[in-house]
């Protein structure tokens, strides 16, 4: 302590003070240089109705003359006519002589009141958004094909249709497209190879955006959007002063190009559709859909036309951070040096009169899944509806000195659970064990061995053997796409998802708000393959994959990176590898590209996003997939509303699912990863058995049956009909509903089999 | 560039929000989350309590007066108030359109009320009596109008003429209600006196529900230091004005207040103006702590309650314009749940709000929320879960504890963490005299009073059971004492103890000095300085034991006296040790230039020895607290404060005798030491803040070099 005293002697005190002050000042200056506020651009929330810098047509925009169209191709059902001047086409459905225009319905053109700029967009076969990279503040603008200024080149008929190139000389874009008919669909394609740009950067292209667009004119009609299970936007005179439209990225937003979060359900199916009177179509994005947005604009937003289209993105915006520690300084930029790859193909399936509704659309999509994606009908399961049981092994919470392990269910307790349910009459079960790895649920990235606190590998093995003795398959829940433990040799600098700025992506998955690294798909593929042998030894029936098949992203990792389009294939490879080695894969809220390899989807979204412009959810996804795969919704013991949730599952043909722990729910009060309303098995066992019985009685014999019909009988009364004639009428109201001479009790349902229907 | 920056703020905060979303949360189908808070203030995820069922007011048409078949769209414009009468007719103050819109129970337009004989101007409040008389707060015209059933003007009430109203007061009625007698309670903009009570003729009868002025510590300091003329120049501190009010069937008046107040934002007033909200909860208007994170630095970070409504069971709902949550409280003011939240930029989703301004219940307990940016009303019904909760809570509040038990168990099965349910079951167990169970449940619910009362019963029972042998023991004990005294056994024992062999072990003698200090502080501390008593080692051991005593108190004190949820051993350490060591250093720095005689060693040891009372009394107190109830809390508090005072005195003597100061010098030294501590703290804070950037820069360079 002498030195302090020495320093504080009278002579040296001023020196010491001066020295301290200088050090502080130097630090201040050094730190201050870091404080310079980088001038930043505002967010690119661009009003769509903004004029362009380019030549505007002097006359009022007009739609193409119908007389200018000439026939170029036909199939058994459709005939295709094309207008050489504008590149538009007209299609005739030979079954019922209905006409479909690639531009807004000319009947209502004279009544359209929107600004000239937008009328120009409406009449155009192509809409483009571009940005000028030479400007300091990037401000994307819209542009459309202007006859007289822009031109059509290389027009030629090809087998089944025509091909042409849109040339927009002022903006410098060249975009070749192709339109063909085959069977009951017309297919439009943007040929990626031929796209050229000059000074300006192309952001997106909407090809024939107003295909089938029509005014609200008393007809029954709606736009169909792939929101949750599918949702309808009814045609109405939308006069509310909100100009909001549906604009969602197919397969969810890209975490590398994170934009505004809006709390809507992810688009898991690359489809959209429209019904107007007796006309209707379903559009399926057949290629390049990972780069598409589905845009639906009800009447009254952008023009009085109801329109829905696929927007094909070629660039995407992201926030370029200028400091690492603080996520609050940065500016908006685009991926300037690349254009997203892949041709962009949309198929418009034209629906015949009796199928021109959402059920017809779903049925056509089912046919597409079978014919094009190779899905197969389920074999009849004699044991009845499977009950999906998710068992939580464990998790962690903050402890006194370090993280504390919370034991949820040991393997022997899980054995008791299965036994108990079996005794209570649950004949068919499928178990998913989650949080089984060392450290439990929130220890992402760890795989085998099983945590010794819940029984270890040997405990798991004996549980699997026991389950198999009751014919119950066991799946282990895995999350390869996240890592916060460094397990499996993961280092985020080498194998983490990386954005254009070279930063690795962290997600806040946990309640303690720790960062969890997102893992590159190609690294996952490697990890999965090396783990499969160990899984096989446990004798399990397969894996449950979380974000693989659910979360799609571009990845600029130099070693393991993949484009968003390629990532889809890598994820499919992962699913294939698991399937071929272990036999089964289940997904969680999976996107439909994983369907051929996933035989059950857990936690499927069963409700729409409650947008003000949407009107109701429809079981599109369920009609399309019932009988091909099985699906379950939110766990029965964690539903929003027990009664209504159960009815919804009966209506939509879901299988029951529960999540259980042997421990008290309150043990998980401060858990990092898992927090459910109520999971204690002993609270729920008898309820689960009872509910299972009702499920089994109702849906036991239709597990491999397609849904043939679905309709609304009255407000909150729905009817689902299976192909074998079984009818289920669900009444959500608090009053009974009269169905012929039968009565559907309040908040309940009735089942009619084929004989009963005939009487 | 300024607005651009604002936009960026919004943009970034949205991004930040989006990364906070938690996927494995029990995510609801509806687009908002519902929460409650437990006694620790932790968020508990709940099933939705309300489910959106409809949107009203999207399609309002006005018939052309000349040609009734021609209808033009006439949406609402910035509506400010909604009132639903007993027959479920809805009245909306359509402020921007200068009219009242009347809708029937299913949301169809009945009529527009415009009062053609004396046009309305920006009316912001509306109230309809049982008889169908319509009262409108015609804000823009600074008057209240009373209309009959058919919308004919009956009466006009302007600024009342009264000696209690200053001339400068501007009568700007925004919200009003009318009681059974026909008296009006009016919330007027800027009326810090509270609600104006007007008789049916419009004469002022007085003020009602006045809020209290809140003086901050700064204000108090100013008042103390400033001269009268200086203080007069300060901005006048006035109570916040009442935003809105509501009434229920039983004569209570409910008010909500926004602005800067942080408690009693919601009040339930009886006819005398007393606040009847009896819950322990002082603040109203809930939000998640994370909600304040994305806000711009200048934004208001407290809830701004804008309207209140009461359902037919007496449960209260309030809506907050800042965080856009709707919070529900029971009739006592205990939180049931809160839900909602802002809708994301560019979307309008049902259940999420842009700018909620008013809400009301209809007779079916359906909730209607008016949004003045979307210009719509969202309609919600109570969910199955919400119904269970309200039903059970009604029974509990009216004392039917046993009847509520089954319902609460159902609720708890659906959501194992729902605090009101645990509390309800605790009451039921108490009623059934299952005190051990009640004690456990009260603890789980965080109710110290209930816990203590249950324990009181258990203790009483224990005494009753064991009275005989306790009494015998005491008797035998007294007898023995007396007997031993008589045979002078005690005297001999005492003498023996005094003349026992003393330990020569230096460490033990140093420890024993700690006890000497307690009995003879002056000699003790002087001995530390001048006789070399005590060592760094013995002081360090005492510090460690004191730290353990702190932890022991945290862990073992009875729940009746200590509401501990999570003991952060690291925080306790930093708080205790850092403060202590800073005291030692500062005291050394100060005294070495201020004629102090103590060496660093002496201060270190002395300051450690002064903490001994905490060990000697704190630990036994923690243990004894487990057999105490709140009725003995005065004893507990006396002892627990006694420790602090004793330590304070020891610290004082320590400073005085180690440095050989007079009392005056000691006081100055202590003050200077405290100032030095603050200065050191600030310096550390600034240095750390400024250099963290530098470190992160260096760290990044290091990462780059090692990894690439």
Beta carbons of A308 and A294 less than 8 angstroms apart: yes
Beta carbons of A646 and A749 less than 8 angstroms apart: no
A447 domain-assigned = yes
Kindly indicate the confidence band of residue A282, based on its pLDDT and cuts at 50, 70 and 90: very high
Mutation choice for A interface testing from B1, B13, B26, B564 by most A CBs within 10 A: B26
Q: Does A445 or A22 have the greater pLDDT score?
A: A445
For residue B221, the model assigns a pLDDT of 75
Chain A residues with CB-CB distance to B415 below 8 A: 677-678
Test B59 with A239 for CB contact under 8 angstroms.
yes
Test A45 with B345 for CB contact under 8 angstroms.
yes
Overall average pLDDT of the A479-489 stretch: 86
| Of the candidates B262, B129, B144, B132, the residue with the CA atom closest to the CA atom of residue B195 | B144
The alpha carbon dihedral of A439, A441, A443, A446 has a sign of: positive
Mutation choice for A interface testing from B416, B552, B571 by most A CBs within 10 A: B416
A445 domain-assigned = yes
Helix (H) or strand (E) holding A325: none
For chain A, percent of residues with pLDDT exceeding 70: 89
How far apart are the C-alpha atoms of B336 and B321, rounded to whole Å? 19
Q: Does B585 touch chain A (CB under 8 A)?
A: no
Task: Calculate the alpha carbon distances from B535 to A91, B508, B605, B608, B686 in Å.
Answer: 99, 11, 7, 10, 35
Q: Does A755 or B32 have the greater pLDDT score?
A: B32
Domain that holds residue A31: 2-35
For residue B24, the model assigns a pLDDT of 38
For residue A312, the model assigns a pLDDT of 92
A640 domain-assigned = no
A598 domain-assigned = yes
Task: Calculate the alpha carbon distances from B476 to A150, B472, B482, B489, B491 in Å.
Answer: 114, 6, 10, 17, 20
pLDDT per residue as tens digits for the range A168-204:
888 888 999 999 999 899 999 999 888 888 888 889 9
The single residue listed with the structure tokens 């992506």 is A505
Chain A nearest C-alpha distance from B18 (Å)? 6
Chain B nearest C-alpha distance from A75 (Å)? 42
A618 domain-assigned = no
Instruction: Please indicate, yes or no, whether residues A340 and A477 belong to a single structural domain of this protein.
Output: no
Out of A401, A606, A610, whose CB is closest to B31? Answer: A610
Chain B nearest C-alpha distance from A718 (Å)? 17
For residue B518, the model assigns a pLDDT of 82
As for the ipTM of the complex, it is 0.82
Q: Does B238 touch chain A (CB under 8 A)?
A: no
Q: Does B592 touch chain A (CB under 8 A)?
A: yes
Test B1 with A39 for CB contact under 8 angstroms.
yes
Out of A239, A638, A666, whose CB is closest to B26? Answer: A638
* Low-confidence spans in chain B with pLDDT less than 50: 1-26
Instruction: Please indicate, yes or no, whether residues A346 and A449 belong to a single structural domain of this protein.
Output: no
A53 domain-assigned = no
Under DSSP, the state recorded for A401 is S
Domain-ending residue, one of A345, A373, A401:
A373
What chain B holds in terms of domains, given with CATH numbers, is 43-208+240-382 (2.120.10.30), 399-500 (1.25.40.10), 505-692 (no CATH)
Rounded to 5 degrees, what are φ and ψ at A173?
-105, 140
Chain A residues with CB-CB distance to B444 below 8 A: 666
How far apart are the C-alpha atoms of A393 and A405, rounded to whole Å? 11
Least CA distance to B386: which residue of chain A? Answer: A641
Q: Following DSSP, what letter does each residue of B555-600 receive, concatenated? A: HHS-TTT---S---HHHHHIIIIIHHHHHHHHHHHHHHHTT----H
State the total domains in chain A: 4
Three-state secondary-structure class, residue A58: coil
How far apart are the C-alpha atoms of A590 and A605, rounded to whole Å? 10
Out of A24, A611, A670, whose CB is closest to B347? Answer: A611
Beta carbons of B456 and B631 less than 8 angstroms apart: yes
Out of A640, A664, A674, whose CB is closest to B24? Answer: A674
A379 domain-assigned = no
Chain A nearest C-alpha distance from B414 (Å)? 6
CATH of the domain at A188: 2.70.98
CATH of the domain at A536: 3.20.20
How far apart are the C-alpha atoms of A302 and B491, rounded to whole Å? 104
Beta carbons of A147 and A190 less than 8 angstroms apart: no
Chain B residues with CB-CB distance to A606 below 8 A: 29
How far apart are the C-alpha atoms of B411 and A587, rounded to whole Å? 31
Domain-ending residue, one of A349, A373, A397:
A373
Instruction: Please indicate, yes or no, whether residues A514 and A465 belong to a single structural domain of this protein.
Output: yes
Domain-ending residue, one of A704, A721, A746:
A704
Q: What 3 state SS string does A617-638 have?
A: ECCHHHHHHECCEEECCCCHHH
How far apart are the C-alpha atoms of B586 and B678, rounded to whole Å? 10
A–B interface: beta-carbon pairs under 8 A: 197
Instruction: Please indicate, yes or no, whether residues A31 and A116 belong to a single structural domain of this protein.
Output: no
Overall average pLDDT of the A378-402 stretch: 85
Out of B25, B346, B693, whose CB is closest to A260? Answer: B346
Q: Does B696 touch chain A (CB under 8 A)?
A: yes
Instruction: Please indicate, yes or no, whether residues A12 and A88 belong to a single structural domain of this protein.
Output: no
| Of the candidates B634, B631, B628, B670, the residue with the CA atom closest to the CA atom of residue B649 | B670
User: In B, residues 331-360, which contact A (CB 8 Å cutoff)?
Assistant: 343-352
Instruction: Please indicate, yes or no, whether residues A274 and A395 belong to a single structural domain of this protein.
Output: no
Residues 6+ apart with CB under 8 A from A121: A127, A142, A144, A209
Under DSSP, the state recorded for A500 is T
Chain A residues with CB-CB distance to B694 below 8 A: 27, 30-31, 34
Least CA distance to A45: which residue of chain B? Answer: B346
Instruction: Please indicate, yes or no, whether residues A295 and A400 belong to a single structural domain of this protein.
Output: no
Helical axes B633-659 vs B663-707, angle rounded to 10°: 100
Kindly indicate the confidence band of residue A574, based on its pLDDT and cuts at 50, 70 and 90: very high
Q: Following DSSP, what letter does each residue of A251-298 receive, concatenated? A: TS--GGG------PPPB-S-EEEEEETTEEEEEEEEESGGGEEEEEE-
Instruction: Please indicate, yes or no, whether residues A437 and A488 belong to a single structural domain of this protein.
Output: yes
Under DSSP, the state recorded for A515 is -
For residue B704, the model assigns a pLDDT of 65
Least CA distance to A397: which residue of chain B? Answer: B566
Residues 6+ apart with CB under 8 A from B297: none
Beta carbons of B91 and B83 less than 8 angstroms apart: yes
Instruction: Please indicate, yes or no, whether residues A709 and A699 belong to a single structural domain of this protein.
Output: no
Alpha-helix runs per DSSP H in A344-439: 358-373, 411-423
Instruction: Please indicate, yes or no, whether residues A739 and A696 belong to a single structural domain of this protein.
Output: no
| Of the candidates A395, A451, A327, the residue with the CA atom closest to the CA atom of residue B9 | A327
Overall average pLDDT of the A226-237 stretch: 88
How far apart are the C-alpha atoms of B356 and B341, rounded to whole Å? 10
Instruction: Please indicate, yes or no, whether residues A456 and A536 belong to a single structural domain of this protein.
Output: yes
Out of A610, A665, A669, whose CB is closest to B30? Answer: A610
The single residue listed with the structure tokens 């919308």 is B151
For chain A, percent of residues with pLDDT exceeding 90: 27
Three-state secondary-structure class, residue B257: strand
Test B417 with A400 for CB contact under 8 angstroms.
no
Measured in whole angstroms, the distance separating CA A750 from the mean position of its chain's CA atoms is 33
Measured in whole angstroms, the distance separating CA A31 from the mean position of its chain's CA atoms is 44
Widest pairwise Cα distance in chain A: 112
Q: How many CA atoms lie within 13 A of A10 on its CB side?
A: 1
The alpha carbon dihedral of B434, B435, B441, B445 has a sign of: positive
For residue A613, the model assigns a pLDDT of 84
How far apart are the C-alpha atoms of A425 and A659, rounded to whole Å? 18
Q: How many CA atoms lie within 13 A of B298 on its CB side?
A: 4
The alpha carbon dihedral of A393, A397, A402, A406 has a sign of: negative
Instruction: Please indicate, yes or no, whether residues A475 and A495 belong to a single structural domain of this protein.
Output: yes
Overall average pLDDT of the A621-647 stretch: 89
A187 domain-assigned = yes
pLDDT per residue as tens digits for the range A451-465:
888 888 899 999 999
Any bridge partners for residue A174, and if so which?
A167, A196
Test B30 with A8 for CB contact under 8 angstroms.
no
Chain A residues with CB-CB distance to B23 below 8 A: 509
Q: How many CA atoms lie within 13 A of B19 on its CB side?
A: 23
Task: Name the token pair of A510.
Answer: 């946990």
Under DSSP, the state recorded for B472 is H
Least CA distance to A46: which residue of chain B? Answer: B346
Mean pLDDT (chain A) is 84
The single residue listed with the structure tokens 């998710």 is A390
Chain B nearest C-alpha distance from A231 (Å)? 14
Overall average pLDDT of the A192-220 stretch: 88
For residue B74, the model assigns a pLDDT of 80
Overall average pLDDT of the A463-487 stretch: 89
Chain A nearest C-alpha distance from B689 (Å)? 9
| Nearest-5° Cα angle at B604, B602 to B609 | 90
What's the burial of A74, exposed, middle or buried (CB within 10 Å: 0-12/13-18/19+)? middle
Please say if the pLDDT value at position A44 is more than 80. Answer: no
């Amino acid at each position: 302590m002498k030195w302090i005293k020495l320093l504080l002697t009278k002579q040296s005190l001023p020196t010491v003070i001066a020295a301290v002050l200088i050090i502080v000042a130097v630090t201040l200056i050094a730190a201050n240089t870091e404080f310079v506020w980088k001038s930043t651009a505002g967010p690119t929330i661009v009003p769509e109705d903004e004029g362009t810098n380019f030549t505007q047509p002097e006359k009022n925009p007009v739609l193409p003359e119908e007389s200018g169209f000439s026939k170029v191709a036909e199939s058994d059902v459709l005939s295709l006519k094309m207008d050489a001047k504008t590149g538009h086409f007209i299609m005739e459905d030979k079954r019922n002589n209905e006409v479909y225009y690639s531009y807004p319905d000319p009947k209502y053109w004279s009544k359209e009141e929107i600004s000239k700029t937008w009328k120009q967009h409406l009449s155009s076969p192509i809409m483009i958004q571009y940005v000028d990279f030479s400007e300091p503040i990037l401000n994307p603008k819209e542009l459309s094909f202007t006859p007289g200024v822009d031109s059509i080149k290389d027009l030629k008929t090809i087998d089944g249709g025509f091909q042409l190139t849109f040339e927009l000389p002022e903006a410098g874009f060249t975009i070749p497209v192709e339109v063909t008919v085959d069977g009951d669909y017309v297919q439009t394609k943007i040929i990626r190879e031929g796209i050229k740009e000059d000074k300006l950067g192309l952001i997106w292209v909407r090809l024939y955006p107003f295909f089938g667009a029509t005014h609200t004119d008393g007809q029954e009609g709606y736009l169909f959007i792939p929101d949750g299970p599918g949702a309808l936007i009814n045609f109405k005179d939308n006069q509310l002063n909100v100009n909001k439209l549906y604009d969602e990225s197919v397969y969810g937003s890209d975490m590398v190009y994170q934009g505004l979060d809006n709390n809507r359900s992810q688009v898991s199916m690359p489809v959209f559709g429209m019904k107007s009177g007796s006309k209707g179509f379903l559009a399926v994005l057949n290629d390049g859909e990972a780069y598409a947005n589905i845009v639906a604009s009800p009447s009254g937003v952008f023009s009085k036309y109801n329109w829905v289209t696929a927007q094909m993105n070629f660039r995407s915006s992201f926030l370029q951070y200028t400091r690492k520690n603080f996520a609050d300084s940065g500016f908006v930029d685009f991926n300037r040096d690349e254009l997203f790859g892949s041709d962009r193909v949309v198929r418009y399936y034209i629906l015949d009169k009796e199928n021109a509704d959402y059920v017809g659309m779903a049925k056509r999509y089912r046919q597409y899944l079978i014919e094009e994606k190779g899905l197969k009908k389920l074999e009849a399961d004699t044991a009845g509806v499977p009950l999906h049981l998710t068992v939580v092994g464990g998790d962690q919470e903050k402890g006194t000195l370090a993280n504390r392990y919370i034991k949820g269910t040991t393997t022997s307790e899980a054995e008791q659970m299965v036994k108990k349910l079996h005794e209570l009459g649950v004949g068919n079960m499928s178990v998913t064990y989650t949080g089984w790895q060392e450290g439990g649920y929130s220890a992402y990235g760890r795989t085998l061995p099983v945590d010794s606190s819940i029984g270890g590998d040997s405990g798991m093995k004996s549980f699997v053997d026991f389950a198999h003795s009751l014919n119950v398959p066991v799946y282990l829940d895995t999350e390869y796409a996240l890592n916060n433990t460094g397990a499996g040799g993961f280092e985020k600098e080498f194998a983490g998802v990386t954005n254009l700025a070279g930063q690795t992506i962290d997600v806040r998955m946990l309640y303690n708000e720790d960062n969890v690294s997102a893992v590159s798909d190609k690294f996952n593929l490697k990890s999965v393959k090396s783990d499969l042998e160990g899984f096989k030894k446990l004798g399990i029936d397969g894996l449950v994959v979380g974000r693989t098949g659910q979360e799609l992203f571009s990845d600029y990792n130099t070693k393991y990176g993949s484009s968003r389009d390629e990532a889809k294939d890598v994820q499919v490879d992962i699913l294939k590898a698991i399937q071929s080695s272990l036999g089964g894969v289940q997904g969680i809220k999976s996107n439909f590209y994983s369907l051929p390899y996933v035989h059950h989807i857990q936690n499927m979204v069963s409700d729409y996003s409650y947008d003000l412009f949407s009107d109701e959810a429809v079981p599109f996804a369920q009609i399309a997939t019932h009988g091909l795969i099985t699906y379950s919704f939110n766990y029965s013991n964690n539903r929003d509303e027990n009664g209504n949730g159960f009815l919804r599952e009966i209506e939509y043909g879901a299988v029951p699912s529960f999540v259980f722990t042997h421990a008290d729910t309150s043990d998980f009060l401060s858990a990092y990863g898992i927090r459910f309303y109520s999971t204690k098995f002993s609270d729920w066992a008898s309820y689960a058995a009872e509910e299972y019985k009702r499920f089994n009685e109702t849906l036991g014999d239709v597990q491999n049956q397609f849904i043939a019909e679905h309709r609304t009988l009255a407000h909150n009364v729905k009817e689902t009909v299976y192909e074998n004639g079984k009818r289920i009428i669900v009444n959500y109201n608090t009053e009974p509903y009269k169905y012929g001479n039968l009565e559907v009790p309040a908040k309940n349902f009735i089942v009619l089999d084929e004989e009963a229907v005939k009487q | 560039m300024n607005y651009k920056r604002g936009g960026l703020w919004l943009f970034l905060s949205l991004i930040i929000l989006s990364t906070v979303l938690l996927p494995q949360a029990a995510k609801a189908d509806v687009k908002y989350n519902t929460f409650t808070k437990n006694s620790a203030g932790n968020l508990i995820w709940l099933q939705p309590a309300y489910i959106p069922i409809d949107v009203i007011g999207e399609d309002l048409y006005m018939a052309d007066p000349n040609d009734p078949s021609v209808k033009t769209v006439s949406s609402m414009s910035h509506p400010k108030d909604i009132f639903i009468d007993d027959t479920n007719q809805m009245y909306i103050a359509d402020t921007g359109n200068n009219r009242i819109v009347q809708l029937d129970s299913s949301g169809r337009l009945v009529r527009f009320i415009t009062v053609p004989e004396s046009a309305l101007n920006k009316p912001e409040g509306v109230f309809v009596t049982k008889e169908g008389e319509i009262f409108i707060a015609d804000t823009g015209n600074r008057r209240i109008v009373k209309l009959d059933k058919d919308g004919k003007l009956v009466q006009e009430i302007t600024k009342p003429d009264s000696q209690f109203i200053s001339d400068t007061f501007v009568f700007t009625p925004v919200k009003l209600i009318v009681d059974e007698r026909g008296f009006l309670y009016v919330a007027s903009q800027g009326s810090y006196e509270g609600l104006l009570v007007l008789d049916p003729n419009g004469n002022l009868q007085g003020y009602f529900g006045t809020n209290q002025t809140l003086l901050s510590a700064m204000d108090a300091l100013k008042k103390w230091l400033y001269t009268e003329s200086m203080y007069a120049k300060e901005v006048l501190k006035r109570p916040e004005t009442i935003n809105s009010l509501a009434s229920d069937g039983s004569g209570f008046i409910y008010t909500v207040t926004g602005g800067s107040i942080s408690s009693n934002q919601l009040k339930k007033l009886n006819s005398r103006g007393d606040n009847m909200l009896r819950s322990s909860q002082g603040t109203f208007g809930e939000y998640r702590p994370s909600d304040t994170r994305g806000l711009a630095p200048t934004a208001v970070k407290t809830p701004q309650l804008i309207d209140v409504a009461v359902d037919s069971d007496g449960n209260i709902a309030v809506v907050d314009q800042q965080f856009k949550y709707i919070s529900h409280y029971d009739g006592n003011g205990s939180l049931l749940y809160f839900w909602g939240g802002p809708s994301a930029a560019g979307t309008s989703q049902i259940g999420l709000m842009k700018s909620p301004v008013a809400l009301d219940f209809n007779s079916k307990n359906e909730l209607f929320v008016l949004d003045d940016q979307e210009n719509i009303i969202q309609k919600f019904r109570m969910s199955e879960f919400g119904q269970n909760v309200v039903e059970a809570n009604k029974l509990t509040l009216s004392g039917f504890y046993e009847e509520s038990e089954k319902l609460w168990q159902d609720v708890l099965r659906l959501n194992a963490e729902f605090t009101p349910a645990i509390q309800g079951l605790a009451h039921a167990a108490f009623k059934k005299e299952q005190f051990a169970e009640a004690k456990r449940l009260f603890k789980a619910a965080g109710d110290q009073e209930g816990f203590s009362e249950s324990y009181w019963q258990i203790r009483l029972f224990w005494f009753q059971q064991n009275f005989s042998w306790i009494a015998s023991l005491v008797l035998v004990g007294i007898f023995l004492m007396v007997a031993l005294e008589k045979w002078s056994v005690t005297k001999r024992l005492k003498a023996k103890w005094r003349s026992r062999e003393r330990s020569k072990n230096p460490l033990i003698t140093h420890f024993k000095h700690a006890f000497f200090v307690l009995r003879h502080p002056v000699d003790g501390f002087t001995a530390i300085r001048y006789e070399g008593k005590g060592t760094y080692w013995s002081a360090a051991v005492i510090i460690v034991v004191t730290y353990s005593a702190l932890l022991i108190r945290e862990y073992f004190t009875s729940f009746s006296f200590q509401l501990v949820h999570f003991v952060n051993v690291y925080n306790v350490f930093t708080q205790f040790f850092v403060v202590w060591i800073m005291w030692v250093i500062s005291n050394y720095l100060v005294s070495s230039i201020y004629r102090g005689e103590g060496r660093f060693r002496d201060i270190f040891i002395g300051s450690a020895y002064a903490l001994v009372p905490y060990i000697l009394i704190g630990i036994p107190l923690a243990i004894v607290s487990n057999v105490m109830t709140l009725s003995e809390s005065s004893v507990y508090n006396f002892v627990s404060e006694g420790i602090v005072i004793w330590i304070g005195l020891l610290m004082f003597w320590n400073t005085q005798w180690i440095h050989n100061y007079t009392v005056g010098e000691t006081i100055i030294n202590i003050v200077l030491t405290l100032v030095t501590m603050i200065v050191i703290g600030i310096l550390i804070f600034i240095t750390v803040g400024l250099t963290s950037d530098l470190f992160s820069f260096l760290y990044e360079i290091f990462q780059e070099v090692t990894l690439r």
